[in-house]
Amino acid sequence: MMSGFPDWHGTTILAVRRDGRTVIAGDGQVSMGPTVVKGAARKVRRLAGGKVIAGFAGATADAFTLIERLEAKLEQYPDQLARACVDLAKDWRTDRYLRRLEAMLLVADRSSIFSVTGVGDVLEPEHGVAAVGSGGNFALAAARALVDHTALDAEAVARRAMAIAADICVYTNGNLTVEILGD
């Protein structure tokens, strides 16, 4: 984090694809240092007329700027999520203003999930599960185990994995926003 900025933590965003459904879940907690500032933030949004879901971690204003840019890319490249994400990551890495933004995005449509970062990464997970944020590694590990060893559907995996992350990570709560694409 840049010096002079408060020590903001909070956010666990998890994406799960399973059996034709894609789910992105995000917790509602925003913390500053040891203090919970807000418990019901909405960090998951529908884009492109409801065909795309995006969840964000990091500085809120920065994330909103990136989501606006992503929406513009989706208008420019309709039904081409990968191309829109790559174009956003390219701009994010090369534009002097955007380079300073401190956020990460998880973006999904019915068939793909991408993690998009400011260092130019556009990553598609191998196992249909991706996570970002303070509790992201906890949610990712739980979701991977649930996908590999249970018959739970994508939403149930996401909800259970987020509950596990909330039990472990002090910067994650159980107040979820869940968006679903698919059957």
Q: Give the whole-angstrom CA distance, residue 58 versus residue 132.
A: 9
Please work out, in degrees rounded to the nearest 5, the angle formed at the alpha carbon of residue 28 by the alpha carbons of 23 and 33: 135
- Residue 2 exposed, middle or buried by CB count within 10 Å (0-12, 13-18, 19+): exposed
Q: How many residues comprise the chain? A: 183
Q: Are strands 8-9 and 12-18 parallel, antiparallel or unpaired?
A: unpaired
Kind and range of the H or E element at 157? helix 154-168
Does the annotation mark 11 as catalytic?
yes
Contact 56, 29 (CB under 8 A): no
Task: Name which of 111, 64, 114, 54 is nearest 89 in CA terms.
Answer: 114
Structure tokens at 34: 């040891």
Q: Are strands 52-58 and 21-26 parallel, antiparallel or unpaired?
A: unpaired
Instruction: Name the catalytic one among 11, 12, 22, 172.
Output: 11
Q: Just list the catalytic residues.
A: 11
